[in-house]
Amino acid sequence: MKVLVIGPGGREHAIVRSLLRDPNVSEVHAAPGNAGIGRLVPTHDIDANEPAVVTALATKLGVDLVIVGPEAPLAAGVADAVRDAGIAVFGPGKDAAQLEASKAFAKQVMAEAGVPTAMARVASNAAEAEDALDTFGAPYVVKDDGLAAGKGVVVTSDRDEALAHAQTCFDAGGDVVIEEFLDGPEVSLFVLCDGRTVVPLAPAQDFKRIFDGGQGPNTGGMGAYSPVDWAPAGLVDEVIARVAQPTVDEMAHRGTPFIGVLYCGLALTSRGTRVIEFNVRFGDPETQVVLARLRTPLGRLLLAAAKGALDEAEDLRWAPESAVAVVVASENYPDAPRTGQRIRGLRKANALEGVHVLHAGTRLDDDGKTVSAGGRVLAVVGMGLDLEEARERAYDGVALIHLHGSQHRRDIAAKAARGEISVPNPRTGALPAVSATGATEATEAEAAGVRTARA
């Protein structure tokens, strides 16, 4: 089969890499891709948010499957247009993509489907916002209703700061969702959906804040690891039964079937598992670790999802190894990342045992040199017998990379590797283990009082 992958980032590099290992896949194209993807497959410099443009490219290339990586093209209706042209596409249509594009919509669907999530209120003006903040109390959680690349959420104990974020969203013409604070560690679970049947991948954990210990503003994600051995046995089955299947059933019932990956962002709280957010695509950088461990051929699996045939898919097979991804970000990310800097050491890092480097925001400059082109520049993935070995390898790779002013977190998977993450006990309501610095890595949101930058 011939496959076209839409998107520019580390997630798409990971997808392309996995597709190239699938014996069923004969040809892969990417649009627009990045410098790393361009070393593997032909790339096409198009506006990937334009449904007609993507459809024309897919038709011209004669692909059997289009895989849409990011949320923006999905929210713009790219999957609908490609599907209308008779080409199989992995990714939801515009209506189903509202599960991510509107947090208020997602809350409605969850309420209808009985999915456990934080209590929430939508506010359209300052008075409504104040009322909602006082209903739930501190720590306050204020979310931009629309797409904000993971950066539209402020969690803070400072009521004025919470109100100020709400006001910024109102000034930009949007609503906010204000909700109760969820304690407990976070887990990302990707569930493949074909409109009816759901198939879970392995859980991963993401690190949302820019600085070690869960400090600083939210980012798109600074690192990830899988497996998540500290998660309770039965978590995946519980999420399928109480979250993914009811949501997919509700979307089918509404006449907007969900095809693609339902990203369940979960908090394992003292009152049980709660959905923090839905996304309608693979997470970045979690995909970099999840796909590094997946042994089932990816192309055939995603084609089955696109064609409504997941019930016939084989059982998934996983590598026994652990995977850790450390994101190397540009200077000044997430505020106003400085780009255009030379990146050195890629070949050396890639040559290390158990290490591969995935590109995110990179491009080739006029001299054919690899330079930074975005906030998150690379994800260095380490594979090892356990999390400790995987993280050592990932950090050995990071140490070989030279990018002026770059930043990375030093604590990706550290607590999990040391066995220091626990789920709050429902009976006692105890919070997860607190580190010497007083920060609970597992609950990044716990680092309340931290300002959030918007993309």
At a CB cut-off of 8 Å and minimum separation 6, what does 175 contact?
104, 122, 123, 124, 145, 169
Burial class (CB in 10 A: 0-12, 13-18, 19+), 60: exposed
Minimum Å gap between C-beta 396 and ligand AMP is 28
In the bound state with ligand GLY, the residue whose beta carbon lies nearer, of 221 and 424, is 221
What are the CA-CA distances from residue 444 to residues 34, 38, 189, 441 (Å)? 30, 34, 17, 5
Residues 234-273 binding ligand AMP (CB under 6 A) are: 265
The rounded distance, in Å, linking the Cα atoms of 14 and 377 is 14
3-state secondary structure of 80: helix
What the block records as the tokens of 313 is 């898919």
In the bound state with ligand GLY, the residue whose beta carbon lies nearer, of 58 and 72, is 72
In the bound state with ligand AMP, the residue whose beta carbon lies nearer, of 30 and 445, is 445
Answer whether 225's CB lies under 8 Å from 441's CB.
Answer: no
Choice from 146, 150, 337, 354 touching ligand GLY (CB under 6 A): 150
Minimum Å gap between C-beta 138 and ligand AMP is 11
β-strand pairing of 2-7 with 65-68: parallel
In the bound state with ligand GLY, the residue whose beta carbon lies nearer, of 198 and 327, is 327
Helix (H) or strand (E) holding 266: strand 259-269
Instruction: State the DSSP code for 399.
Output: H
Amino acid at 82: V
The rounded distance, in Å, linking the Cα atoms of 167 and 156 is 15
Choice from 41, 155, 262, 423 touching ligand AMP (CB under 6 A): 155
Residues 240-279 binding ligand GLY (CB under 6 A) are: 279
Place of tokens 């950088």: 285
Instruction: Confirm or reject binding of residue 7 to ligand AMP (CB under 6 A).
Output: no
Piece of 92-100, 175-183, 359-367, 375-383 that binds ligand AMP (CB under 6 A): 175-183
Residues 243, 93, 194, CA angle at the centre, nearest 5°?
50
In the bound state with ligand AMP, the residue whose beta carbon lies nearer, of 22 and 71, is 71
Instruction: Confirm or reject binding of residue 178 to ligand AMP (CB under 6 A).
Output: no
Answer whether 236's CB lies under 8 Å from 163's CB.
Answer: no
User: Which candidate, 308, 305, 297, places its Cα nearest to that of 280?
Assistant: 305
What the block records as the tokens of 240 is 């399928």
Residues 114, 120, 126, CA angle at the centre, nearest 5°?
155
Answer whether 175's CB lies under 8 Å from 169's CB.
Answer: yes
Phi first, then psi: give them for residue 157, nearest 5 degrees. Answer: -90, -5
Place of tokens 């993450």: 421
Any bridge partners for residue 412, and if so which? Answer: none
Amino acid at 86: G
- Residue 218's binding partner, choosing from ligand GLY, ligand AMP, none, with beta-carbon cut-off 5 to 8 A by kind? ligand AMP
- Residue 283's binding partner, choosing from ligand GLY, ligand AMP, none, with beta-carbon cut-off 5 to 8 A by kind? ligand GLY
Instruction: Confirm or reject binding of residue 107 to ligand AMP (CB under 6 A).
Output: no
Minimum Å gap between C-beta 284 and ligand GLY is 5
Piece of 80-88, 176-184, 324-332, 425-433 that binds ligand AMP (CB under 6 A): 176-184
Answer whether 324's CB lies under 8 Å from 223's CB.
Answer: yes
Q: Where are the alpha helices (DSSP H) in 62-114?
A: 71-75, 78-84, 98-101, 103-113
Piece of 176-184, 210-218, 280-288, 339-347 that binds ligand GLY (CB under 6 A): 280-288
In the bound state with ligand GLY, the residue whose beta carbon lies nearer, of 167 and 215, is 215
Interface map 217-236 toward ligand GLY (x if CB under 6 A): ---xx---------------
What the block records as the tokens of 78 is 């790219």
Instruction: Confirm or reject binding of residue 379 to ligand AMP (CB under 6 A).
Output: no
The rounded distance, in Å, linking the Cα atoms of 53 and 117 is 37
In the bound state with ligand AMP, the residue whose beta carbon lies nearer, of 152 and 384, is 152
Instruction: Confirm or reject binding of residue 133 to ligand AMP (CB under 6 A).
Output: no
Instruction: Confirm or reject binding of residue 284 to ligand GLY (CB under 6 A).
Output: yes
Piece of 105-113, 149-157, 378-386, 396-404 that binds ligand AMP (CB under 6 A): 149-157
Interface map 188-217 toward ligand GLY (x if CB under 6 A): ------------------x-----------
In the bound state with ligand GLY, the residue whose beta carbon lies nearer, of 25 and 110, is 110
- Residue 153's binding partner, choosing from ligand AMP, ligand GLY, none, with beta-carbon cut-off 5 to 8 A by kind? ligand AMP
Instruction: Confirm or reject binding of residue 444 to ligand GLY (CB under 6 A).
Output: no
Please work out the total of residues on this chain that contact ligand GLY, with binding judged by CB under 6 A.
8
Choice from 283, 334, 354, 382 touching ligand GLY (CB under 6 A): 283
List contacts with ligand GLY (CB under 6 A).
150, 206, 220-221, 279, 283-284, 286
Interaction site with ligand AMP (CB under 6 A): 118, 141, 143, 150, 153, 155, 179, 181-182, 186, 208, 218, 265, 276-277, 444-445
